[in-house]
Structure 1
Amino acid sequence: MPPISAPQRPSTSTARKGRSWHRTAGKPVRWWLVALVIVIAAHRWIPDTRWLMVHMVTLGLITTSIMVWSQHFTEALLHHKLPDSDRPRQIVRIYGVTAGTALLIVGMLAGWWWLTVIAATVIGVMLTWHGLALLAQLRTALPARFGLTVRWYATAAFFLPVGAVFGAILARDLSATWHSRLLLAHQAVNVLGFVGLTVCATLLTLWPTILRTRMRDDAVRLLRIALPLMAAGSLLAAVFAVLGTASLTAAALLLYAAGAATVGWLMLRTGMQRRPEGYMGWSVASGIAWLVVTTVLAAWLVLTRGVETSVAQSLTIPFVAGFLVQTLFGAMSYILPSTMGGGPATVRASLAAMNRAGVYRVTVANLCIALFALPAGVLPSWVRALVSIVGAVVLAAFIPLMISSAKVAIAARRRAVAERASGTAPTDRTGATAAESSRRGMGAATQFLAGVLTVLLAIAAGIAVAPQSAGFSLTGSNSSSAEGTGETTEVTMHAQQDMRFDPSEIRVPQGNRLVVHLTNDDPTTVHDLVFANGATSGRLDPGASATVDVGVISNRLEGWCSVIGHRSMGMTVDVIPVDAQGQEVTATGTDGSHGSHGHAEHTGTDPAQAADLNAAPGEGFTTRSPALAPASDETVHRMTLDVQEVAREVAPGVTLDAWTYNGQYMGPTLRGKVGDTFEITLTNGGTMGHSVDFHAGDISPDQAMRTIAPGESLVYR
């Protein structure tokens, strides 16, 4: 009688095929990560970067990752591994979403609405197919305790096609009212519905696994309450947003928040059994906290401002960076090492590599997100910029750590193979190394304090770059030897859309106190007013007002808008002390502002005086032909105007920095027939905002021909 064999372990080839499936399915995630880093680095020269980065995260990273991990967890929870013959169809769905996202980006950037519709259709079809496949797998599997999770995976997948319809409609030229309504509905269905439901359904089993503790007995019961509340809140918020009913939209968002808070409460009670120890747990917990808080904030904004305001846009950073990115990176930091396999020691080593400086990274990321999400008027411009850079770098650290974790796993597997080939007993050197590394690393409290210090240093650096914008003065007060008169001069000033202050010159009797009442009349962006003595208005949203007590005016004083680029565009104001006859008083030079040398800046030598008008132009000068280009038979004329700031010879021997279109300070001539259409693409390659205003256009230029910031692009017809 032959001996009874031990239960067979999966063959090496079977395990290799499983890992191969995950590697193939996960490639698009890595592609999108690399592409996102490139776009962030080159965002200045890429049009519509905000929209582009948001959709690279939501569709490229999040949606693709959800399709991979929902399939992985479905097989694990149902104990029903699909045959290899089904893998090609899964790959088609995942790569189909990747292709659809790429087409969507091309269609949006090129302005091809037909391609946008095709891309949205492809993405919607792939997710519908994915949801149906999960339901089919659920029907063929034996009853499972966590079949609830799989059912909600499928339900969430059907939300995205609805959101894709909203997205395709948003690609059309809509009024501001309808754009705001549909954008809020789009985010309610996609972010709250598709992503939120999938994430919370996964946390039923993933959260206790990350914490390495048992699941609470009431977990399934609480999730049966939370997920229907979230689904109903998401759909109702979308419906009421489209209808424009602010109160009902806010109520639906609060309903969703109640469901998400239930999930958060379950996570908190589970964490009381064993608190998170590193990046994975704290990042996922932070993501759910941002989901609840941001949804409540959205409800409040809708209730107080209405559905037609830009509620969705103002909450993009908390939703995308706070919830989506942190939840994704936290979950992937745990899932990737686990799916790579290689044995307990290898998995421990891979997890340790992903968890380096985990508490520090979570602390910095959340503080930066919170600061950047503050209203535009709170943080000075440079502080806001540096905080965003620090936060982006810390979040992007996930990529090299992911690569490092994979290398650790590969090295451990190779070592294990070599040990088996040599007949030596396998060692646990990898696990020991990970444990030693953990002991050598900073404790959680130390990492937290280091993270807080890092953010404080970023704030201090931003203030150091532009101290006046934060209310600090490096030049001392505005007092001088002249005594104050005890009188006050009050001036009403307006920040205008053409990047100017009105008035741009204030004449004040010497010794009077100056009080400025500033109103931001620019409907497109924020402005502030900062004086060289440190007096500041703080940032003002469109339509907002503030009063600035500038102090006693004894010497000439300069003021400006501290938003990056606005000062160089001409948003400055001069405060000039005058005597009883209205003549400017000679500065005493004790206030450190313009002083007596200020006149040289305003009355310097005219560049034309240095020109020899009888001399020949320079060698690089090219005469512009006055002849019109031949007429075209086309009825739609497309022209790209590339704004550049370059040195150009304007007179013999005189070169000035010029604002140019396509390298020439005299822009190209556009020629067409009555009834023709001109499609203009304006690309700002300069260092400040620029625009072009076609005075013959039968449209208000305020939006269609608005000033765009450096690195942005604008297309209008």
Structure 2
Amino acid sequence: MTTLGSRAGWHRATGALVISWLVAAALAVSFHRFLPEQGWLMVHLTMLGAVSNALLVWTQHFTRAITRSSASAGRGGEVTRLVVFNISALGVVIGMVTTTSLLTLAGAIGAGAVSAWHAASLAQTVRTSLPGRLRAPARYYIAAAALLPPGVLLGWWTSTAPEGVTAYVLSAHVAVNVLGWVGLPILGTLITLWPTVLHVRMDESTESRARTVLPVLVGAVLIVALGSLIPLLAGESGATPSRILQALGLLGFVGAGLWLLQPAAAVTVRGKVGDFPSLSLASGAAWLLGTLAFAGLWVATTGVPFSRAVSSLVIPLVGGGVVQVLLGALGYLLPVMAGGGPSVLRGRIAVVDRGATWRVVAVNAALLFYVLPASSLVMVTTSLMALGVAIVSGVRIALAMFRTPEPITYAESASQPSADAPAAGENKPSPHSRREESVLSPHSRREESVLSPHSRRRGDVGRGLGERSGGIVAGLTVALLAVVGGVAGDPAAAGVVGPLGGQIVAGASPSVPASGAGPSVPASSEVTRVDVQVEGMRFVPDSIQVPAGSALEI
């Protein structure tokens, strides 16, 4: 039995905390029609709850690891920060749902104070540790934690700002919290975690490149945030400069992020991507940077405000990007930290990785169908399908962490094909790659033999494309079923036509009007054009009246 004071007990407890917030977010998505502020809830239960807790825990862990510090002094400060942060986050959620502005403000101040304390703790760890080669990720974590206090206060401002101000403040809030608080740690972690997951040596240029890129990334965050607020000072005349700065900041952030990750991407050819952590991390990073790049180009070419662009891209940005990175990281780290010895660890890894190919393909194919032009019902079915499969991945991670699986011996694992095992004639991994694995934990010497390329038994790992084709087909089939379900539920909206050219109405014969539909109305040449905007988390206007027979253009 483990205790909170042990490493395994600590990571089981904090892992359960993160998963609890993810469960709450999944419930909010499932029952959003019955909830107030449903759009806000779905995003913030994920980002403020699950993702922020994971960042508080793992940025502290990684900072200790790369500075070769230990938690021997106790975790009193960490426990206090997590308790206060979660109480504050609950205060923000309850305040928003009940429209209690003071409670929302108190929660925002509490969360910001914890983040500032966290930044100071990380800085103290770096300052008091012995000099080392790999310090860049810790600087990313400190910068991110320093950005959260103004970010949460901007978030509170969005809940109280007048209607004409909300969009500008929301843009700044998203820039600081999504790009800064979440984006910086993701990029700073991937440069070391990705080679570790693949069991290859980290590129020698990573540290110097990371030091160079950090000011550019922070500058890009500030450009987007400050650019978003220009119209508050300059009025309508500041709208164009605001959008130019937003586009430049977004594209600059993406460009700097790609340049930062290039060495990590380059070492991919020396490893093999095929287990759940590597597939999920790669997919999440692609969605995160790809969505931000699309938002930047959208703002630059059409002049659409950043707040409207990001409101339209919440699912690919949060679900496709952030959540997949989070699940991939937890899928790699939690089995290692849960303890139990080499054979048990191999069993935990097998639980996480079983069916990895179909799960990752299903999520990403469903998200791809979601972002393509489609009816609203298809968007609903594909997003729910992606959520359901992501829940399956979360459940497998939880099972691997909390239940002791059947141990897998070295002989059994060696008989399984391994993605990381060197092919005939290749050299075995360099001893230096083992040192890179110590980034995960100051205690990881005990795990080195467990994490050896020869000992990781994984459900789908080590198979070529042909052997994984079953999982690929299964994942695509699941996603296509979601599309078919959406089209069948509303064929008219999907543009499905009957044999005589008329649109099919759900539940009716192609030649007979649906019950209650009334007689057919001949189409006219009139077009009703309506400009719909997103204010906060609401559409304005939220209802449209169109004369019978005329077309609607939004």
TM range (shorter): 0.7 to 0.9
Report the Cα offset of residue 291 of structure 1: 2.2
Q: Given that residues 230 and 256 in structure 1 are in contact (C-alpha distance below 8 angstroms), is that contact kept between their aligned partners in structure 2? A: yes
Go from structure 1 to structure 2 and tell me whether the alpha carbon gap of 1:435 and 1:351 turns closer, same or farther (over 3 Å shift).
closer
Go from structure 1 to structure 2 and tell me whether the alpha carbon gap of 1:571 and 1:448 turns closer, same or farther (over 3 Å shift).
farther
Partner residue of 2:62 out of 73, 76, 84: 73
Say whether 1:347 aligns with 2:336. no
Go from structure 1 to structure 2 and tell me whether the alpha carbon gap of 1:461 and 1:516 turns closer, same or farther (over 3 Å shift).
farther
Amino acid at match of 1:272: V
Q: 1-side partners of 2:261 and 2:183: how far apart?
A: 12
Partner of 2:88: 100
Partner residue of 1:521 out of 522, 530, 533: 530
Q: Secondary structure at the match of 1:171?
A: helix
TM-score by length of 2: 0.79
Q: Secondary structure at the match of 2:496?
A: coil
Partner of 2:475: 451
Amino acid at match of 2:312: S
Q: 1-side partners of 2:59 and 2:458: how far apart?
A: 34
Q: 1-side partners of 2:524 and 2:546: how far apart?
A: 19
Partner of 1:155: 143
> Where do 1:83-232 residues align within 5 Å?
83-85=72-74, 87-176=75-164, 178-232=165-219
Go from structure 1 to structure 2 and tell me whether the alpha carbon gap of 1:196 and 1:515 turns closer, same or farther (over 3 Å shift).
same
Q: Given that residues 320 and 367 in structure 2 are in contact (C-alpha distance below 8 angstroms), is that contact kept between their aligned partners in structure 1? A: yes
Q: Given that residues 361 and 472 in structure 2 are in contact (C-alpha distance below 8 angstroms), is that contact kept between their aligned partners in structure 1? A: yes
> Where do 1:353-392 residues align within 5 Å?
353-374=351-372, 378-392=373-387
Q: Secondary structure at the match of 2:527?
A: strand
Go from structure 1 to structure 2 and tell me whether the alpha carbon gap of 1:258 and 1:507 turns closer, same or farther (over 3 Å shift).
closer
Q: Given that residues 366 and 482 in structure 2 are in contact (C-alpha distance below 8 angstroms), is that contact kept between their aligned partners in structure 1? A: no
Partner of 2:35: 46
Partner of 1:334: 332
Go from structure 1 to structure 2 and tell me whether the alpha carbon gap of 1:130 and 1:384 turns closer, same or farther (over 3 Å shift).
same
Q: 1-side partners of 2:31 and 2:44: how far apart?
A: 16
Partner residue of 2:320 out of 313, 322, 329: 322
Q: Which deviates the most, 429-438 or 199-208?
A: 429-438
Amino acid at match of 2:528: T
1:592-644 superposed Cα distances (whole Å, 9 cap, x missing partner): xxxxxxxxxxxxxxxxxxxxxxxxxxxxxxxxxxxxxxxxxxxxxxxxxxxxx
Q: Given that residues 345 and 431 in structure 1 are in contact (C-alpha distance below 8 angstroms), is that contact kept between their aligned partners in structure 2? A: no
Q: 1-side partners of 2:483 and 2:410: how far apart?
A: 48
Go from structure 1 to structure 2 and tell me whether the alpha carbon gap of 1:478 and 1:429 turns closer, same or farther (over 3 Å shift).
closer
Report the Cα offset of residue 101 of structure 1: 0.8
Aligned length: 481
1:170-203 superposed Cα distances (whole Å, 9 cap, x missing partner): 1104223x21111111111111111111111111
Q: 1-side partners of 2:494 and 2:2: how far apart?
A: 63
Q: Given that residues 387 and 458 in structure 1 are in contact (C-alpha distance below 8 angstroms), is that contact kept between their aligned partners in structure 2? A: yes
Determine which structure has the larger helix proportion and give its number: 2
Report the Cα offset of residue 516 of structure 1: 4.2
Q: Given that residues 88 and 110 in structure 2 are in contact (C-alpha distance below 8 angstroms), is that contact kept between their aligned partners in structure 1? A: yes
Q: 1-side partners of 2:216 and 2:248: how far apart?
A: 12
Report the Cα offset of residue 263 of structure 1: 3.0
Report the Cα offset of residue 518 of structure 1: 3.3
Go from structure 1 to structure 2 and tell me whether the alpha carbon gap of 1:440 and 1:204 turns closer, same or farther (over 3 Å shift).
closer
Q: Given that residues 184 and 311 in structure 1 are in contact (C-alpha distance below 8 angstroms), is that contact kept between their aligned partners in structure 2? A: no
Say whether 1:402 aligns with 2:392. no
Go from structure 1 to structure 2 and tell me whether the alpha carbon gap of 1:272 and 1:108 turns closer, same or farther (over 3 Å shift).
same
Q: Given that residues 124 and 161 in structure 1 are in contact (C-alpha distance below 8 angstroms), is that contact kept between their aligned partners in structure 2? A: yes
> Where do 1:537-576 residues align within 5 Å?
573=548
Go from structure 1 to structure 2 and tell me whether the alpha carbon gap of 1:473 and 1:542 turns closer, same or farther (over 3 Å shift).
farther
Determine which structure has the larger strand proportion and give its number: 1
Partner of 2:426: none
Q: 2-side partners of 1:318 and 1:194: how far apart?
A: 18
1:131-157 superposed Cα distances (whole Å, 9 cap, x missing partner): 101111111111122122112211211
Q: 1-side partners of 2:176 and 2:316: how far apart?
A: 17
Amino acid at match of 1:28: L
The alignment-based identity, stated in percent, is 28
Q: Given that residues 369 and 483 in structure 2 are in contact (C-alpha distance below 8 angstroms), is that contact kept between their aligned partners in structure 1? A: no
Report the Cα offset of residue 249 of structure 1: 2.0
Go from structure 1 to structure 2 and tell me whether the alpha carbon gap of 1:383 and 1:161 turns closer, same or farther (over 3 Å shift).
same
Q: Tell me how large the CA RMSD over aligned residues is.
A: 3.3
Q: Given that residues 225 and 259 in structure 1 are in contact (C-alpha distance below 8 angstroms), is that contact kept between their aligned partners in structure 2? A: no
Q: 2-side partners of 1:436 and 1:221: how far apart?
A: 34
Report the Cα offset of residue 408 of structure 1: 5.2
Q: Given that residues 359 and 448 in structure 1 are in contact (C-alpha distance below 8 angstroms), is that contact kept between their aligned partners in structure 2? A: yes
Report the Cα offset of residue 30 of structure 1: 2.6
Partner of 1:271: 268
Partner of 1:288: 285
> Where do 1:602-621 residues align within 5 Å?
none
Report the Cα offset of residue 251 of structure 1: 1.1
TM-score by length of 1: 0.62
Report the Cα offset of residue 398 of structure 1: 2.1
Partner of 2:8: 19
Report the Cα offset of residue 351 of structure 1: 1.6
